[in-house]
Chain A
Amino acid sequence: MGQFIVDVNDLSRSFGRKTALDGVCFRAAVGQVYGLVGANGAGKTTLLKHLLGLLRAQSGSVRVFGLDPVRDPVGVLSRVGYLSEERELPEWMRVDELMRYTQAYHPTWDASYARELIEMFGLDPSKKIKELSKGMRAQAGLVAAVAHRPELLILDEPSSGLDAVVRRDILDAIVRTVADDGRTVIFSSHLLEEVERMSDHVTMLQDGRVTLSGELDDVRRGYHRTRVRFVESFDHPPVIDAALVMEGGGRTWSVIHNGSLEQFHRSVLALGGEVVESRDATLEEIFLARAGRNRQVVAA
């Protein structure tokens, strides 16, 4: 792994009595795509806002390109592209004015790339921001965020408001282009399938804490979905080592678990059962196992 351009260490933040971030550590290396996942209010946007210097660290430290984004906003923000969750853009501006305004701040602005993206999205440069739909605002914001080819691209819920075609064909392409150019992308998303498709790394936040972090393949390899069958019938989920979530009833249960497969097999055998089939869990299954509700959860 290369040099870290984002280094968040033991970051905590509270809003009144609500703890938004609690001792978060997060690092991002050059040329990688990082996906932040978590339930609503888990702290994803709060973490991203700290990276941009929009929030001051109450405790812990935040360094982006080795700089403190609060003390040196120009040094950090000139190398960052950002798309906010609220798509907050001046409503009176026209699309072309937004592009020119953003261009003035970034000497690295690639006008032909901006034009290409505007055409790809079908945006009318003479239209005011207030006349754009939510999805078109996201597209305009995305062009402004990526056209200066930033070293770090931060996208807060980029898919929100985008239709499926734009999301899959264009957003994915943009993110991959940025990463392939040796630049870094950090994005938050509710769409786990999207995070699974686009990210190299995944970080899961829950109640302001990092509950899972690592390379996507490693994370996926560490969790399995296994279908087990027992001789006797169970009214309640039987206690199996390393099981996070169990679904089903009677003799057949579907289990999301981590740890080694051998140990899991031994536990099932000890209860008089057998493993019917096993595969790597999807990110969604891992997420639901970690943060899911309304399920028959057993102690991990």
Chain B
Amino acid sequence: MSPLDRRQFLGRSAALLGAGAVGLGVGAEVASGSQDAAPSAAEATERVLADELAARQPFEGYHQQGILTPRQAQAAFVALDAIAPRRNELIEALKELSYRAGALTQGGSVATIEIDDPPPDSGLLGGYNAPDGLTVTIAFGASLFDGRYGLAAARPPGLRAMPAFAKDGLEPDRCHGDVLLQICAEHRDTVVHTMRELLRTTAGVLTPRWRLDGFQSTKRGPTPRSSTRNLFGFRDGTANPDPSDAKLMERLVWVKPGAGEPAWTAGGTYQVVRTIRMHVEFWDRVGMFEQTNMIGRDRVTGAPLGGTHEFEDPRYDLDPHGRRIPLSAHIRLANPRTPATEDQRILRRPYNYDRGLDEAGNLDQGLLFVAFNQDVARQFETIQKRLEAEEMADYITPVGGGYYFAPRAAAGSGDWVGSGMFGGPSALGGASRPQMQTVR
């Protein structure tokens, strides 16, 4: 193709693009061009907005989205490392990341700027990026608070690199990271598009370290409240704290002002991510009785052993010796349901993962364990150490993940997720505090 041909070709494309990009919604930028096809494009856009793709989660506010938000069907987790040599470059990249994430979650028409330039959006979702329930949750790993960017004083005190627990088989290239993106939406293409756009936004400053895709099991009843199943076939999440209980979330999830934390961490939460390989072929060879004893629940109904429905109290007080539910059963160790263990509970938001085969031809599947908690040591780690005694541990191998801190949300337009750790607007509940020393 000669340069001239190429130019003509682009010219024709411009006309088509213009037609397709007629905008509704936030931040629409429409290229000039023929408007002949406008009515049908508008119709198409309206159709998109009216249907299941229209759900929109607020990005700005006090708490970040994607934490209490009901789990969407699809997810991607991407950990990034900061490679920028200067603090200002990092700040700019985090700003851009936050702005772009915010715009994508709210949806809007795809902008075209210069016809000679690569389009600013990959166009995977067409001329209009429907929100599709998209949330982008941005969190930071302990390594970001080392000496590189002058952030040591801002480090949330409960944040450290995830240690290897007794039975972990952690692979270093699947662990940790300076920044974690949790991208969730109702459809896979929305997640893929978002990941691609965000990686493009931060290229050169934040470089990908590991990533993993997740999916949600379909709700199959018998009631709308019934928990979905994990890849061992058991219902998972039965005893999860209710995210709509704001008082409970204050006790279990959100970091409170004061309490030895730097001011900027208030309204944030500690996020634990664990890639837990489930040896599903091994599990599928286990007798039903042994499976239920390892979990502590009936596989079909999800009822605690000896019970009849999923949400029944397992009444450990009536079974102190584990005659009904073994003392090593997963549900018993995970949540003993005593007054002393009440404040150890965590808010789980897990996904399944399924990423091909291992060398021996076995499926590489498992649980993308995600938990939010106010205090990792008091909550997640206490539970995790108790679970070292569970027999199910023989059928799983944690291979990756990390600890992260998900700060409060962008306070409003102009603010961005993480500004507080640099002394920005969200350092103190939205008040502008430009100096670092005010942070601690």
A, B assembled together: no
